[in-house]
Amino acid sequence: AQSVTQLGSHVSVSEGALVLLRCNYSSSVPPYLFWYVQYPNQGLQLLLKYTSAATLVKGINDFEAEFKKSETSFHLTKPSAHMSDAAEYFCAVNSMGQGGKLIFGQGTELSVKP
Amino acid sequence: DTGVSQNPRHKITKRGQNVTFRCDPISEHNRLYWYRQTLGQGPEFLTYFQNEAQLEKSRLLSDRFSAERPKGSFSTLEIQRTEQGDSAMYLCASSFPGDGTLAFFGQGTRLTVV
């Protein structure tokens, strides 16, 4: 069975500081990994995805994530936080043969202080 | 096509009433997914369709829940005899076939059962 663990339900950074949101996954087969962002009362918007190509994946709004198989991690980073980055972030896994359904972590709420 | 559309955006209903939600996917996508998201949690998979065929249902989908996609286009999710525990955001997503393909989410229907 697949699972996702997001470390830290709430992360607070200052504007301009590095953003690091942690995600560890469990999968018995090679995974596809995703990061989504959700603003209040909105659906989910894809930030980036990993599908076994390059291990460093670049997404929208200067976000990127690195797939580390040895650590079963897929942490999300952004060099410089912006006030508009404040939102809920979800890591998700979809393993081969699962019909495309996503298994989500519990989410990390990012706050950005001025 | 402006993306995945869900209606209504908000629904307040009394306990015991039936409710129905609609999802219109991106037109060329033949996979359609339903997820449920409760407060402070990540989305949980409920069911998915490929064209008009319902290929998988989660154990979360009790017998009070039924989903249809009669012509392989829009889908409906009906909840009969609603309970307070059904209060959640119901999210619809669509994609092309394939395990690692990108799922696009609608803005969700927020259900409140009073």
pLDDT in tens, B25-36: 998 898 999 999
Mean pLDDT of B69-98: 93
- Select from B48, B105, B110 the Cβ nearest to the Cβ of A101: B48
For residue A96, what pLDDT is reported?
66
Distance, in Å, from the CA atom of B30 to the CA atom of B17, rounded to the nearest integer, reads 31
Quick check: A44 and B91 CB within 8 A? yes
Closest-CA residue of A relative to B108 is: A43
- Select from B40, B55, B91 the Cβ nearest to the Cβ of A43: B91
- Select from A42, A97, A100 the Cβ nearest to the Cβ of B31: A100
For residue A101, the chain B residues in CB contact (below 8 A) are: 33, 45, 48, 56
Mean pLDDT of B45-64: 92
Distance, in Å, from the CA atom of A23 to the CA atom of A50, rounded to the nearest integer, reads 13
For residue A99, the chain B residues in CB contact (below 8 A) are: 31, 48, 50, 55-56, 99
Q: Does A54 touch chain B (CB under 8 A)?
A: no
pLDDT per residue of chain A (114 residues) written in tens, 0 to 9: 789 999 999 999 999 999 999 999 998 777 899 999 999 878 899 999 998 778 899 999 999 999 999 999 999 999 999 999 999 999 999 876 667 889 999 999 999 999
Distance, in Å, from the CA atom of B58 to the CA atom of A104, rounded to the nearest integer, reads 14
For residue B1, what pLDDT is reported?
52
Q: Which of residues 10-29 of B touch A (CB under 8 A)?
A: none
Distance, in Å, from the CA atom of A76 to the CA atom of A11, rounded to the nearest integer, reads 12
